[in-house]
């Protein structure tokens, strides 16, 4: 088991998402936690991915729920993933929207609505105004109906859409007729003992338009990792910071066998009603890449889950990866701040020493004189605990290795 410290829950869910835009998938866990036979209670926790280990962010604003549904989307188009939950905390069901404050904390927003136990909540732009809305359920004359929780400039207001819903079921957005607006399919318990599935067509007079393709695709090698960056796309409805991105990477043209998007490469058609596989970020890391030629293309996905055309194909050839750890020797590793570096070289030269974090950002850089096989000490600044790439580059020397920073 990769991490046995994660809490076990029942009547809940666990999901991966990147809440702090560091390129690593974090974990959200919500449901009923059993501490002992006599003591159980609902929890909601987010665990930050530290590059292979996970730690609780300990956000006290997160409200535990059971019989819960959860979904992720950027409702305020600020480039950070927000959360919505629907479930019970011991009383009637409620919806809570969590605004992501720049990947640092969350602010709960509780709309004035009283949903039924439908166990389903999903973001989607049903009115094609470019921001994410929600559908909730309510009871009228003994039947359950949909009500739209419409996002109007980050204020959520109820709007009656008069569609019959179900209990203990689910709904999904889908543009089944390809008229550029989101339709709905609903399944669940229609009355006391009768199930149903219903498909509702969206008759909006406003059609969504797909985004433009991303541009300025670049690729580089850092250690054994392929680093990919691009410029944000634009869209007539969804703001640029609200777009998500799909990336396709392959070692042969036309077959994305390294990183596969669920989209048609020739026309950009998004085969699933979902966000892009890179989320809101404009960069991606393909780890432990092998030598060869790689082909990269990127598309944008808007809040109606419509895909742009894919970008012009970018290629990168990798013949000599920078993971030549035999060229440099580092100790101690893990380290708390001081490291000694010895080059496998008999010459004296100035080299550039860089420390790069898991997002590809250089967090420390220094010029250091190395003399043959002698060790040189580097005093690192205070860095967050985790995994980093150490690069050493000079006129005759080029190498890198992974280092682990431990707590000071």
pLDDT score of 177 more than 60: yes
| Strand order from edge to edge, sheet including 143-152 | 134-140, 143-152, 155-164
How far is Cα 90 from Cα 308, in angstroms, rounded to an integer?
A: 44
How far is 60 from 366, CA to CA, in rounded Å? Answer: 40
- pLDDT at position 71, please? 93
Residue 217 near residue 230 (C-beta atoms within 8 A): yes
pLDDT for the residue numbered 150: 76
Q: How many residues does the chain have?
A: 408
Between the CA of residue 406 and those of 5, 54, 269, 338, what are the distances in Å? Answer: 19, 14, 45, 11
Between these two residues, 207 and 318, which has the higher pLDDT value? 207
Token match 């109007």: residue?
152
Q: Please give the Cα distance from 133 to 65 (Å, whole number).
A: 22
- The per-residue DSSP string of 266-311 comes to TT--BSSSS--TTTT-SEEEE-SPPSEEEEEEEEEE-TT-PBPPPP
State pLDDT tens for residues 215-267: 999 887 776 678 888 999 999 999 998 999 999 998 887 777 888 898 999 99
- Give CA separation, 97 vs 29, 73, 149, 273, 293, in Å: 16, 10, 11, 21, 44
- The SS3 call for residue 253 is coil
User: CA angle at residue 363 from 358 to 366, to 5 degrees?
Assistant: 130
Which tens digit of pLDDT belongs to each residue from 30-79?
999 987 767 889 999 999 998 778 999 999 999 999 988 899 999 998 88
Nearest to 5 by CA among 60, 54, 57, 62: 54
Mean pLDDT across the chain: 84
Provide the β-strand partners of residue 69.
Answer: 86
Per-range mean pLDDT, top range of 134-138, 175-179, 346-350:
175-179
Position 334 confidence tier, pLDDT thresholds 50, 70, 90 = confident
241: helix, coil or strand? helix
Alpha-carbon distance values, 229 to 94, 164, 216, 238, 286 (Å): 40, 45, 8, 21, 12
Whether the per-residue pLDDT at 190 is higher than 80: the answer is no
Give the confidence band of 320 by pLDDT, cuts at 50, 70, 90: very low
Structure tokens at 10: 């029942």
- Considering the entire predicted model, what is its pTM? 0.71
d(CA 302, CA 235): 8
State how far the Cα of 28 lies from the Cα of 9, in Å rounded to an integer. Answer: 12
Which residues have C-beta within 8 Å of that of residue 39, sequence separation ≥ 6?
A: none
Alpha carbon 79 to chain centroid, angstroms: 11
């Amino acid at each position: 088991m990769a991490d046995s410290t994660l809490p076990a829950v029942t009547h809940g869910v666990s999901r991966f998402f990147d809440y702090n835009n560091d390129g690593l998938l974090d974990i959200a866990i919500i449901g009923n936690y059993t501490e002992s036979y006599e003591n159980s209670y609902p929890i909601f926790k987010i665990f930050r991915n530290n590059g292979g280990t996970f730690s609780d962010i300990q956000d006290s604003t997160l409200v535990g729920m059971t019989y819960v549904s959860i979904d992720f989307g950027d409702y305020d188009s600020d480039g950070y993933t927000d959360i919505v939950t629907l479930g019970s905390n011991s009383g009637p069901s409620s919806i809570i929207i969590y605004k992501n404050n720049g990947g640092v904390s969350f602010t709960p927003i509780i709309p004035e609505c009283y949903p039924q136990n439908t166990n389903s909540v999903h973001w989607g732009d049903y009115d094609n105004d470019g921001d994410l809305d929600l559908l909730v359920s309510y009871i009228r004359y003994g039947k359950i109906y949909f009500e739209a929780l419409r996002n109007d400039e980050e204020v959520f207001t109820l709007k009656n859409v008069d569609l019959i819903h179900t209990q203990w079921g689910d709904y999904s957005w889908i543009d089944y007729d390809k008229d550029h607006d989101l339709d709905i399919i609903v399944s669940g318990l229609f009355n006391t003992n009768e199930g149903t599935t219903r498909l509702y067509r969206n008759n909006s007079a406003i059609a969504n338009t797909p985004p433009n393709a991303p541009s300025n695709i670049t690729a580089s090698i850092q250690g054994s990792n392929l680093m990919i960056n691009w410029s944000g796309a634009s869209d007539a409805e969804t703001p640029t910071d609200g777009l998500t991105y799909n990336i396709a990477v392959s070692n042969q043209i036309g077959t994305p066998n390294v990183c596969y998007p669920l989209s048609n490469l020739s026309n950009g058609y998004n085969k699933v009603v979902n966000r892009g596989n890179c989320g809101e970020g404009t960069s991606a890391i393909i780890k432990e890449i092998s030598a060869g030629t790689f082909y990269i293309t990127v598309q944008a996905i808007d809040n109606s889950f419509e895909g742009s055309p894919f970008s012009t194909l970018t290629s990168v050839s990798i013949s000599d990866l920078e993971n030549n750890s035999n060229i440099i020797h580092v100790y101690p590793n893990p380290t708390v701040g001081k490291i000694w570096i010895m080059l496998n070289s008999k010459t004296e030269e100035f080299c550039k020493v860089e420390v790069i974090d898991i997002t590809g950002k250089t967090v420390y850089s220094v010029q250091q004189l190395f003399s043959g096989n002698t060790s040189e000490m580097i005093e690192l600044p205070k860095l967050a605990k985790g995994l980093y790439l150490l690069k050493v580059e000079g006129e005759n020397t080029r190498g890198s290795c992974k280092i682990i920073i431990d707590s000071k």
